Structures are given as structure tokens and as C-alpha cells.
Amino acid sequence: MDKLLNNNWFVKIVSFVMALMLYAIVSAGDGTPSGSSSNIAVNPTQQSAIITSKLAIKYDQNKYVVSGAPQTISVRLSGSNESILKAKLPSTKSVYLDLSGMKPGTYDARVQTRGFPSGLTVKPSPKTVRVTIQKRTSKELPIAIDILNKNSLAEGYTVGDPVIDTQNITVTGGEDTVDSIAFVKGVISVKGADAAVEKMITLHAYNSNGDQVNVTINPSSVHVRVPIEKVSKQLSINAVTTGTPAKGYSVDSIDQSAKTVTVTAQDKDALDQITSLEPLSVPVDGLKKDKTVTVNVALPSGATRSDPEKIDVTVHIIKETDAESDESSADSSSDSNPDSSLSTDKQTKKLTNIPIKVIGLKDGLNASFDKEDHVSVSVTGSSQDIDKLTADDVHAEVDLDGLDMGAHEVTVAVSAADGLVAKATPGTVKVNIS
């Protein structure tokens, strides 16, 4: 053994064999899953690999537009492992289509390569690509805006016309493609909105079939503001009687199930034109007792609906006092009780220039009367109470609770001491809230 180790040729042969084995192991391990022996190269100088490369296109971009070409191309490389490794590194290599000098039309262009390390076999897949060359053109087009979820706005609101910061845009692309554009639009949602919606939205071009068209849009996005307008408001409503009760009877008072109505209009302009509601008409012909009727709320011009749509009105009827009966009763009372100084006859006293007090007005709002801010009040009661009655004992007021800005016709409520019945003239007044 010592003699063999001292033999130079023996040592050289052993070293060569070991080096060859190590090289084969390293070559087989490059890019090969662990445990796979099928990829160990028999010939260490020949390897293959597939890489993906971006596809470049050479053409006159100032005159033409090219469509149909893929973004990337697969390339099979065959050669030494060292060359393949170099090809995978960033370099000046490229895969491209050369369309220089070609006119508008459709072609099967050959995929070409350059800049790969020498000694490699380079095969792109596919070998040819079908492309279309079009004359480059630009056109100015208007913008359309699609508003989504209009029906899901907050109650009492509607969508106004959208406001766009740019009315027209420029589209650039192939002549045929640009000519196929039917419209350019963006979309914006107003779901649940109760105030103006503002957004930057992206624009897209579409043909007459609704298919998106691949062109350059400048600007590609625009600022859009969609006004959200209130189209409802509250107005006061009053009931009035028509006709005459039965002989010997009169209307004492009127009660309503609602004194205000929320009116919704077609749009803001129509809403602004609505300032009051027609009174609820209640017939009382021949009535001898209280009656409750359901009356439809009459929609003013421009209104689409009201809430409530119907109001229950109760008319209270009283029997008028018979003067002779009162006198007879008084005489009988005097005969049975000569010392009695009480009088049971009824009298009516009219007080004028009673000021109207405003209550229930929302904070920050002001109210003014359209005409008169005073009323006349007729008070009916016993002679003893009426004789003592003064203007300070009578109060008139209008309740503006729940009413928003605008003109309203409201009922004047009047009151006097217990046992007295008071009635205002006029019964309603117009109030402007600002």
C-alpha cells in the first residue's frame, strides 16, 4: 500500500475520479428537488431549463398601437449549467417582436431573442404571436356617471344631478378600437346617504355591447360630487267644518289624530313650492251628537306622498242654550230659594286684541306671523263669571313643536278660567319659520 501511495500516477488517477464524482453530485443538485435521482445529468456539460421573460415590442409608438401580444413568453434554455445560471441572472438579454416598418394589419410575428450567453440553445414558446397593428389616434369624449343604490337612501332624501370636476376626457388607442367606444363612465354608490357623496372614481371605456375597451384614458379618474337633497318637510294641518248642525245644536270643538303632516315631493324645487296644506273638510250637516270621521290628506301640487295619509277628526257637538228655559229655571230657583243670589244664565263676551304666544319652536329658529299676531276671543259662561272676566284672564298661543323652516298655517289655541268656553277669531294664522 505504501508503494501505491508513493506512486504519482496512482494518486493522480484517484484524485481525478473523486473530482469527477463530486462534480456530478453538484451538477445534479442544482435546481433539482431533494431525493430525485432522475435529474442527475449523465452528461454534466448539457442541462435544460425554462424561464419566463417579458415580451418587448419594437414599433413606432408615435404612429401605431399594437394589441394581441402577451405580456410574457416562456423560453427553453439548453446548454451548460454555467451558461444557464448566467442566463438567469439580470442582464441585457431580451425576448421581443420586431414590428418596425410594418403597416396597420394583423400579423403572425416571430418571437426573437438576443443577449443570451453564447453556447445556449434558446427556444421561445410560442415561436410566433398574432398581433394587430392599428393607427394611433385620440378622441375627446364626455363622461357619464352611474349612480348605484339610489333606492337605499335615507328616508325623505333624493339624489341630485352629479357634479364632475372634468366634463370631457381624452381616449387614446388604435383607430378601430377608439371608433368602437360608445361611452366612457364611472360608477359611484350613494347607499344610505343623507348628505352629499364625494369620491374620486376610475373611468372605463365601453363599446356598444357593454364590453370594456382597452384604451388609455386621460385623466383616468375624476372627482364626483353627488348632491343628496331633502325632499320632505312637516306642515301643520287643520280641520274645518262645512254645513250646519241640527237646529238647536252647534260645534263646540274639533280634535285631530295628527296636527302635522310630513310631505314628500318629487324634488327639492317642488318641495320649496309647497308651503301649506289644504284644511281637512268635515261635514256637520244635521248633527246632534259627536262624530268621528277619517279624512284623506289632499296632496298639494308636486307632492308624491304624505305621512299620515289619513287623519281621524272628531267633531264635538253641544246643545245650544234655550234662553226661555234658562229664565224659567232661574225663576223657579228664585221661588224655591228667595235668598239665592246665584244666576245660572249664559252670556258671551268678546275680547279683542289678545296677543298670540309662540311655544314649541326649535332652538336656533325664529318665527314671525304672516299678518296678525293678535286675535279676538269670544268667551261663553255664566253671567257671574263673564262679568268678572278681563283680557288678562284669556290666553292665546300657537304650538310650533316639530315644525321646520318654511311657512305654516297653525291653529290658535285659546283658554280662559275653568267653566268658560273660549273661541278665537281667526281660528288659524300663518307663521313663517326661519
Residue 159 has pLDDT above 60, yes or no: yes
349: in domain: yes
Among 230, 253, 282, the domain boundary falls at: 230
Q: Which residue has the higher pLDDT, 269 or 162?
A: 162
141 and 223 share one domain: yes
Q: What is the number of domains present in the chain?
A: 5
353 and 417 share one domain: yes
Q: Which domain holds residue 7?
A: 1-44
Q: What is the pLDDT of residues 222-231, one digit of tens each?
A: 999 999 888 8
Q: At 381, list the grid cell.
A: 259662561
Q: Which residue has the higher pLDDT, 422 or 218?
A: 218
31 and 49 share one domain: no
Among 230, 257, 273, the domain boundary falls at: 230
3-state secondary structure of 413: strand
User: Between β-strands 181-189 and 260-265, what pairing exists: parallel, antiparallel or unpaired?
Assistant: unpaired
Determine the Cα–Cα distance for residues 332 and 22; give it in Å rounded to an integer: 143
Section 236-265 average pLDDT: 87
pLDDT at residue 44 in the model: 53
CB–CB of 123/129 below 8 Å?
no
Q: What is the pLDDT of residues 87-99, one digit of tens each?
A: 888 777 899 999 9
Q: Of 168-177, 332-341, 349-358, 411-420, which gets the smallest average pLDDT?
A: 332-341
Q: Which residue has the higher pLDDT, 7 or 39?
A: 7
CB–CB of 239/295 below 8 Å?
yes
69: in domain: yes
pLDDT at residue 259 in the model: 87
Residue 333 has pLDDT above 60, yes or no: no
50 and 40 share one domain: no
4 and 71 share one domain: no
86 and 151 share one domain: no
329: in domain: no
Q: What Å distances lie between residue 321 and 327, 329, 330, CA to CA?
A: 11, 12, 13
195 and 140 share one domain: yes
pLDDT at residue 35 in the model: 32
299 and 267 share one domain: yes
149 and 181 share one domain: yes
Determine the Cα–Cα distance for residues 244 and 252; give it in Å rounded to an integer: 12
246: in domain: yes
Residue 36 has pLDDT above 80, yes or no: no
Residue 84 has pLDDT above 60, yes or no: yes
296 and 354 share one domain: no
- Domain harbouring 106, CATH code: 2.170.120.30
Can you list the positions of beta strands (E) in 80-218? 94-98, 105-114, 121-125, 128-148, 157-159, 163-164, 168-174, 181-189, 197-202, 204-207, 212-213, 216-218
Q: Which amino acid type is present at position 165? A: D
Determine the Cα–Cα distance for residues 165 and 221; give it in Å rounded to an integer: 10
Among 230, 245, 278, the domain boundary falls at: 230
DSSP annotation of 259? S
143 and 223 share one domain: yes
Confidence of residue 25 (pLDDT cuts 50, 70, 90): low
357: in domain: yes
Confidence of residue 162 (pLDDT cuts 50, 70, 90): very high
Confidence of residue 341 (pLDDT cuts 50, 70, 90): very low
427: in domain: yes
Selection from 228, 215, 24 nearest residue 137 by Cα: 215
Q: What is the pLDDT of residues 181-202, one digit of tens each?
A: 999 999 999 988 888 899 999 9
330: in domain: no
Determine the Cα–Cα distance for residues 422 and 426; give it in Å rounded to an integer: 12
pLDDT at residue 330 in the model: 42
205: in domain: yes
- Domain harbouring 141, CATH code: 2.170.120.40
**CA gyration radius for the chain?**
48
pTM of the predicted model as reported, rounded to 2 decimal places:
0.48
Residue 160 has pLDDT above 60, yes or no: yes
Count the Cβ atoms, other than its own, within 10 Å of residue 27.
19
Q: Of 10-19, 145-154, 161-170, 294-303, which gets the smallest average pLDDT?
A: 10-19
List, in sequence order, every residue forming a beta bridge with 422; answer none if it has no partner.
379
List, in sequence order, every residue forming a beta bridge with 307; answer none if it has no partner.
262
409 and 348 share one domain: yes
